[in-house]
Chain A
Amino acid sequence: MADALLEVRDLKVHFPVTRGALLQRVVGQVKAVDGVSFTVRPGEVLGLVGESGCGKTTVARSILKLVAPTSGQILFDGTDIWAMNKAEEAGLRRRMQAIFQDPYSSLNPRMKIREIVGEPFVIHESSIGRQEIDRRVRDLLDLCGLPGRIADRYPHEMSGGQRQRVGIARALALKPDLIVCDEAVSALDVSIQAQIINLLVDLKDELGLTYVFIGHDLSVVKHICDRVAVMYLGRIAEFAGSDTLFGQPLHPYTRALLDAVPVPDPAVEASTEHQVLSGEIPSPVNPPSGCVFHPRCPIAVEGCRTDVPPLQEERAGHFAACSQVRFETPTASPPSIHSPPMP
């Protein structure tokens, strides 16, 4: 197996903004994803975090071949998924699956659970016959902690957590290598979230899965991910191992994100001064020049308006796209976002 199971190279996904009904003309581009690169190693959990509209779901949809990239490549096991023929694509579909965000809309309301979980077999292994499919569906439901008797129910007869388990069972049916979890737990109650996350972790250990885990809940991401990429406005701001990223964040955006996580202790919470980012996330139709984060950045300098900072390796495995931060020796405290370092 190649060193990387999945490699995303300089992915750009731009959506045209058109005006006019008859003579459509393109008046702008929504730069949903604007130059994202990362690799996913076999067996790891790669996290993709960021606030709404930062492009993380679009990245997931490109990986799943649901949205065509404007430029860049996505290599699965060394092959460009957007240059595949039909047979190769069928193979890809078997090896890469997805768990979707909304357990209420990700299952077809007109199909029984038996049909939903059995559909992968009907599509890819139609020769195995109904009884064998039923047997496998039961195994899969059992694997995901659901009793076999729910096979004859419809999705609306189940709770959100149960539905998400059905979604997971469907994703596992073809024994994939990679599962893209697009906000897989965001729509669930906190107590159910914990159950589903534990299920995902157990399944990963048992079946040797690789996950691309997309989320905005940092505590969940920290818990489940080995490496994490923080996205802002279609680009990666910081990319590092989970412990490093949460322990020693470099990029001012990452720090602001982590700072915004509430501490479940009223006393601590009350005594903490939060560094609140000013302003809103800018529109991806008209992103700021230079570093896209500079209008909200507490440590921005004049140069940030004009120069796009590259994603640089500040130390082994820790990348940040910021011209103002440098990783210093561990004895020194990381640069504070309150007092920008002198240039």
Chain B
Amino acid sequence: MMSELAESNRAVVDDAPPRSRWLPWRKQLLRDKKALFGLIVLAVLTLTAILAPLIAPYDPNAMDFMMMEGPSLAHPLGVDDLGRDLLSRLIHGSRISLFVGFSTVALALIAGVALGVIAGYFGGIADTIIMRYIDLQWAFPNFIIAVYLVAVFGTGLANVIVAVSLAFVDDFARIARGMVLTIKQEQYVDAARTLGASHNRIMWRHILPNATAPIIVQATVSVSYAILAEAGLSFLGLGVEADTPTWGLILADGRSFISRAWWIGVFPGLFIMITVLSINFLGDAMRDVLDVREVKAD
């Protein structure tokens, strides 16, 4: 359709092969020893959770007559007060704990980011209404809100997930809004408006992809909080049903026997600690890597 451009007017472009923008930070993440530790632990835990029925040596609810027996070859982590194998219960418990952790964060992330992006992008009345609500929620500790919501909705796994995710919405909304306010000023957003792009297109195609770094970091941190929140709710008897093996519930049971059978309380606590620690290591590393926006490549 067009005639030639003078040869002198062509750009000189080197022949470097196109690089993936994700490669550098993937590499960098693996070089970080703590992040690598976190990644491996999480991978093992996830795999255990998925394959729980195959891996667990016993049925988590099968009872034996050797109640409150300490760690032995037959029961590596001991037996609880009802004669159930602790290792099997913890392995099955990882399913629920991890599921609650990841699904609440996924829900909170979707809702919070949507609210934050809309508030930041449109400003004005929408911003005022959304952010005043978020401020209100911000004033209370997340866990208190989760307790309150469970009290309203009733206990049970689904309700716990909804309650904890609602309690975490404000963190994501606040971060997303802050990012949008900055990115909204970028010239590529003006360029998209000049092209006639719709608000939806600008919000989700232009602004959000550039706001991901702090949101990802917040998500990793929140996963560990969510696991703790579920454990806490179960500990208070506001979580799942009493016979469901979750880390929080096992820990709560173990409390009564701490002087006679330390393993019932200590091992679920260790599992929670290691998981949360791994996720936090990963989150810290991601913060370090993703904060260096773009500079790496040039």
Q: Which of B2, B19, B209 contacts A157 (CB 8 A)?
A: B19
Q: In the complex, which residue of chain A has the Cβ closest to the Cβ of B196?
A: A93
**A106 and B194 contacting across the interface, CB-CB below 8 Å:** no
Once the chains are docked, how many angstroms separate the CA of A235 from the CA of B201? 36
CB interface residues, B 240-273, toward A, < 8 Å: none
Q: Contacts A143-B2, A157-B16, A162-B13 given: A107-B196 contact, CB under 8 Å?
A: no
Q: Which of B3, B9, B16, B197 contacts A119 (CB 8 A)?
A: B197
Of the listed residues B6, B195, B205, B294, the one surrounded by the most CB atoms of chain A closer than 10 A to its CB is B195
Of the listed residues A143, A156, A162, the one surrounded by the most CB atoms of chain B closer than 10 A to its CB is A156
CB interface residues, B 188-206, toward A, < 8 Å: 188, 190-198, 201, 205-206
B contact residues around A111 at 8 Å (CB): 205, 209
B contact residues around A134 at 8 Å (CB): none
**B210 and A108 contacting across the interface, CB-CB below 8 Å:** yes
Asked if A150 lies at the interface with its beta carbon under 8 angstroms from chain B, I say: yes
**A66 and B9 contacting across the interface, CB-CB below 8 Å:** no
Chain A window 134-168, contacts with chain B (Cβ cutoff 8 Å), 1 for yes, 0 for no: 00000100111111011011101110011001010
Asked if B10 lies at the interface with its beta carbon under 8 angstroms from chain A, I say: yes
B contact residues around A123 at 8 Å (CB): 195-198, 201
A contact residues around B125 at 8 Å (CB): none
Asked if A97 lies at the interface with its beta carbon under 8 angstroms from chain B, I say: yes
Asked if A124 lies at the interface with its beta carbon under 8 angstroms from chain B, I say: yes
Q: Contacts A123-B195, A153-B18, A157-B16 given: A146-B187 contact, CB under 8 Å?
A: no
Once the chains are docked, how many angstroms separate the CA of A162 from the CA of B10? 10
Q: Contacts A119-B195, A123-B195 given: A156-B298 contact, CB under 8 Å?
A: yes
Asked if A98 lies at the interface with its beta carbon under 8 angstroms from chain B, I say: yes
**B195 and A93 contacting across the interface, CB-CB below 8 Å:** yes
Asked if B54 lies at the interface with its beta carbon under 8 angstroms from chain A, I say: no
Q: Which of A110, A142, A202 contacts B6 (CB 8 A)?
A: A202
**A146 and B297 contacting across the interface, CB-CB below 8 Å:** no
Asked if A109 lies at the interface with its beta carbon under 8 angstroms from chain B, I say: yes
Total interface residues on B, using CB and 8 Å?
34
Asked if B21 lies at the interface with its beta carbon under 8 angstroms from chain A, I say: yes
Q: Which of B5, B192, B194 contacts A143 (CB 8 A)?
A: B5
Asked if A105 lies at the interface with its beta carbon under 8 angstroms from chain B, I say: yes
B contact residues around A29 at 8 Å (CB): none
**B3 and A100 contacting across the interface, CB-CB below 8 Å:** no
**A167 and B19 contacting across the interface, CB-CB below 8 Å:** no
B contact residues around A96 at 8 Å (CB): 194
Of the listed residues B5, B9, B194, the one surrounded by the most CB atoms of chain A closer than 10 A to its CB is B194
Asked if B152 lies at the interface with its beta carbon under 8 angstroms from chain A, I say: no
**A98 and B298 contacting across the interface, CB-CB below 8 Å:** no
Once the chains are docked, how many angstroms separate the CA of A206 from the CA of B205? 33
CB interface residues, A 88-118, toward B, < 8 Å: 89-90, 93-94, 96-98, 100-102, 105-111
- Please give the residue numbers on chain A whose beta carbons come within 8 Å of chain B beta carbons, in ascending order: 61, 64-66, 89-90, 93-94, 96-98, 100-102, 105-111, 119-120, 123-124, 139, 142-147, 149-150, 152-154, 156-158, 161-162, 165, 167, 170, 195, 198-199, 202, 206
List 11 other contacts, CB 8 Å, given A123-B195, A147-B11. Answer: A66-B190, A66-B193, A93-B196, A97-B194, A109-B294, A142-B2, A145-B9, A146-B10, A146-B11, A162-B11, A202-B9
**7 A-B residue contacts at CB 8 Å?**
A61-B190, A102-B187, A111-B205, A123-B196, A123-B197, A198-B9, A206-B2
- Please give the residue numbers on chain B whose beta carbons come within 8 Å of chain A beta carbons, in ascending order: 1-3, 5-6, 8-11, 13, 16, 18-19, 21, 186-188, 190-198, 201, 205-206, 209-210, 294, 297-298
